[in-house]
Amino acid sequence: MKYYSYNTASFRKDGSIINEYVETLSEAEIIKEYWNYWKDKMIAKFGKEHFEANFSEKDCIEDWVTVNWAREVKDEIDGLRKPSNI
């Protein structure tokens, strides 16, 4: 199982940031959270037949990683560590 971490934040109603934090999700959590939304968007764009012939959960995860600027980490604990390039 692979894990991915990304930076996110909580916001007030006025749009100001309450706090920033790192969230780490497993591939299974990404699919549970993002699959239906992503699948519907891909079907709307390409059609159901093309989607079923050409896309997989791996593609969904890759899109999620790109959209969220996520990085692969060893595990949930590793995702909490500050990246060495910051």
Tell me if 8 is assigned to some domain. Answer: yes
> Does position 46 have pLDDT exceeding 70, yes or no?
yes
Residue of 60 and 10 predicted with greater confidence = 60
Q: What are the percentages of helix, strand and coil residues in the chain, rounded to 5?
A: 50, 25, 25
Check residue 17 and give its pLDDT.
87
Q: pLDDT over 90 for what percent of the chain?
A: 70
Q: Which residue has the tokens 């993002």?
A: 34
Taking alpha carbons only, the member of 57, 72, 80 closest to residue 3 is 72
Cα separation, 26 vs 54, whole angstroms: 23
> Does position 55 have pLDDT exceeding 50, yes or no?
yes
CA 85 to the chain's CA centroid: 21
Our count of domains for the chain comes to 1
Owning domain of residue 63: 3-80
Secondary structure of 24-35 in the HEC alphabet?
EEEHHHHHHHHH
Tell me if 61 is assigned to some domain. Answer: yes
> Does position 78 have pLDDT exceeding 80, yes or no?
no
What mean pLDDT, rounded, does the chain reach?
A: 89
